[in-house]
Amino acid sequence: MAVRYQIEGTTAAGISISVEYAVTHGTLAPGENLPPVRALAHELGVSPNTVAAAYRQLRDRGVVETAGRNGTRVRPRPPVAPRLAAHPPVPPGLVDLSSGEPDTELLPAPGPALARVAAGATATNYMSGPLPALIAAARARLGPVPAAHVTVTAGALDALERILSAHLKAGDRIAVEDPGWARLLDLVAALGLHPLPVAVDDDGPDPAALAAALHRGAKAVIVTSRAQNPTGAVITGARAAGLRRVLEPFPHVLVVEDDHAAELASEELHTIAGATGCWAFLRSTSKPYGPDLRLAILAGDETTVARVEGRMQLGAGWVSTVLQRLVVEMWSDRDVSAAVAAARSEYEQRRTRLVEMLRARSVPARGRSGINVWLPVADETSAVTRVRDAGFAVAPGALHRIGGSPAIRVSVGRLRPAMYEPLVAALVGAVRPGERVRQPV
């Protein structure tokens, strides 16, 4: 019989530190239940209110979650969990279709642009900020997004954390897509925010579900413009108009729109930026141009942009001017633009071919845009295992869901022509495990 980790402490802070230490070092595993409040209070000789306060602190930091009648448990992906537990490595010999990352072979070569940046490098002072050349180029690329106030952050997730921290406090309710971006759901938990799920169909967030979240007290909304992760949803013109109508009676709600696919998205942008008086629109550069280009353009209302820049000055200060110059160079390089266009076309072909092959086998695959395909399944664990046995690693949908139905996510970043037939056979077997699937000869 396994020995339960002995939680220690006589104060709320001490108890929470003890639990967090156990989670960090893997002694308390993701999903493991903590003792009931009264049981732990009796064991430690403290008041139940002390233990309840400790558990509340842990919830606010995203370490644990309330599981209804099952009490309190460690979150499946707590922000303090060991890295390998939160991001298990893909076993050798498997094709990794689980990461959600672009194909590194399709990224544009940064060498020529880097050489030009190095040749023109000049010393900067220690109070740098957004480069005027970058802001001017960004405004020209934002299309229908209002661009009176624009700044730069170190990537989309960095921007999201600064925006949410500037406007919200622990315990506030926030409307998020369900299923949605796993990293965002982790960030929401780490900030102590209470997520309200908003269902997503192929046209984007469901207006009725968003209205329900707003009436339940959501103080912020986060949506994805195109290539929604994990479903590939795209906000259409009609859906954008519907979402604006829903938001109209809530002029003070923060609306954050993430256009992470940027130049890799072939679909037209239908933005809801500016639907309320408090808003932000994000567009990052790492997906089209490379993982080390951790930079995002942030357009928003004057107050939001000012708050983000103010928080930047108290922390990182500014995004590297070398990185900013590199982005300007790559944006203006015809060879780079051609490489990004070729990548966009290639992802479109890979994703479309996989979705069409699955639908031809009566598998309801979703993937209108981006680099992911979303497949409903009856049981995620058995589905992931069955696909793994065929030589492919895919992601369980639980990482992306709040209360939605089970599913798996397949990324096309490393998908190659010879893989389609065996992959489709494995996916059909995962979706319909009772069916005998004939392997291709």
Q: What is the rounded distance in angstroms from the CA atom of residue 387 to the CA atom of residue 267?
A: 30
* pTM of the full structure: 0.83
CB-count exposure of residue 111 (10 Å: 0-12, 13-18, 19+): exposed
Mean pLDDT of 66-93: 72
* Integer CA distances (angstroms), 197 to 175, 214, 254, in order: 6, 11, 16
Mean pLDDT of 341-346: 97
CB 173 within 8 A of CB 187: no
The band of 126, judged by pLDDT with boundaries at 50, 70 and 90, is low
Q: Return the pLDDT at 83.
A: 47
Residue with tokens 């209108």: 368
Residue 84: which residues within 8 A CB-CB, separation 6 or more?
none
The band of 62, judged by pLDDT with boundaries at 50, 70 and 90, is confident
Mean per-residue pLDDT over the chain, rounded: 90
CB 33 within 8 A of CB 19: no
**Given CA atoms 397, 400, 401, 402 in this order, what sign does their dihedral have?**
positive
Residue with tokens 């921007």: 159
Q: What is the rounded distance in angstroms from the CA atom of residue 256 to the CA atom of residue 258?
A: 7
Q: Where are the domains of the chain?
A: 12-84, 89-105+338-431, 109-331
Q: How many residues does the chain have?
A: 441
CB 155 within 8 A of CB 324: no
The band of 441, judged by pLDDT with boundaries at 50, 70 and 90, is very low
Nearest to 29 by CA among 91, 72, 87, 73: 73
CB 227 within 8 A of CB 250: no
The band of 86, judged by pLDDT with boundaries at 50, 70 and 90, is very low
The band of 178, judged by pLDDT with boundaries at 50, 70 and 90, is very high
Does the pLDDT at position 128 exceed 80?
no
Does the pLDDT at position 177 exceed 80?
yes
The residue that leads in pLDDT, 310 or 234, is 234
Residue 110: which residues within 8 A CB-CB, separation 6 or more?
289, 290, 293, 326, 330
Which amino acid would we find at residue 316?
Answer: A
Mean pLDDT of 135-162: 95
The CATH class of 109-331 is: alpha beta
Q: What is the rounded distance in angstroms from the CA atom of residue 218 to the CA atom of residue 250?
A: 10
Which amino acid would we find at residue 99?
Answer: S
Strands (E), 202-258: 204-205, 220-224, 254-258
Q: Return the pLDDT at 440.
A: 45
Structure tokens at 29: 């595993």
Nearest to 199 by CA among 219, 171, 228, 170: 228
Q: What is the rounded distance in angstroms from the CA atom of residue 416 to the CA atom of residue 317?
A: 42
Residue with tokens 């998020």: 176
Give the tens place of pLDDT for each residue, 181-205: 998 988 888 888 889 999 999 999 9
Q: Return the pLDDT at 194.
A: 86
Q: Return the pLDDT at 17.
A: 84
The band of 85, judged by pLDDT with boundaries at 50, 70 and 90, is very low
Q: Return the pLDDT at 281.
A: 98
The CATH class of 89-105+338-431 is: alpha beta
Fold for 12-84, please state it: Arc Repressor Mutant, subunit A (1.10.10)
Please give the DSSP secondary-structure letter assigned to residue 169.
Answer: -
Strands (E), 210-362: 220-224, 254-258, 278-284, 296-300
Please give the DSSP secondary-structure letter assigned to residue 190.
Answer: H
Does the pLDDT at position 284 exceed 50?
yes
